[in-house]
């Protein structure tokens, strides 16, 4: 991986909302946009914009199922940046904000 690609990954993770999204995806695997919106307590537009940024920087992938969009961590990112993802997962235990996001996610009903 070249230095520009590496810099882009760190730039993508320099935004707290994107770190929160990544933490939820690391914890749960695959999530619908509606689940992320509820867990993060942000508008659908804001969440979608950050998801697009993660997708454009190859940190997340998306798939459509009917009207729903589902996101997960890019498999290549998992392979190349496992320790970074482990650090994000560990930070969930240490961050009140990330813990609250995860609790809201666990408490909500499915979107479908």
Show the tokens assigned to 7: 């810099």
Residue 111 lies in a domain: no
CATH for 54: 1.10.10.10
Give the tens place of pLDDT for each residue, 24-77: 999 999 999 999 999 999 999 999 999 999 999 999 999 999 999 999 999 988
CA nearest 28: which of 83, 84, 98? 98
Residue 85 within a domain: no
Whole-prediction pTM = 0.91
For residue 93, being part of any structural domain is answered with no
Residues pairing with 94 in the sheet:
none
Q: What is the DSSP string of 26-65?
A: HHHSEEEHHHHHHHHT--HHHHHHHHHHHHHTTSEEEEEE
Residue 55 lies in a domain: yes
Residue 100 lies in a domain: no
What is the total count of domains within the chain? 1
Residue 20 lies in a domain: yes
Range of the domain at 67: 1-75
């Amino acid at each position: 991986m070249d230095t520009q690609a590496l810099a882009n990954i760190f730039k993508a993770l320099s935004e707290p909302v994107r770190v929160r999204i990544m933490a939820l995806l690391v914890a749960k695997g695959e999530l619908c946009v509606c689940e992320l919106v509820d867990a993060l307590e942000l508008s659908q537009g804001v969440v979608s914009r950050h998801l697009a940024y993660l997708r454009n920087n190859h940190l997340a992938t998306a798939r459509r199922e009917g009207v729903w969009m589902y996101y997960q961590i890019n498999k290549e990112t998992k392979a190349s940046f496992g320790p970074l993802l482990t650090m994000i997962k560990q930070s969930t235990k240490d961050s009140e904000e990330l813990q609250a996001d995860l609790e809201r996610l666990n408490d909500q009903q499915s979107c479908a």
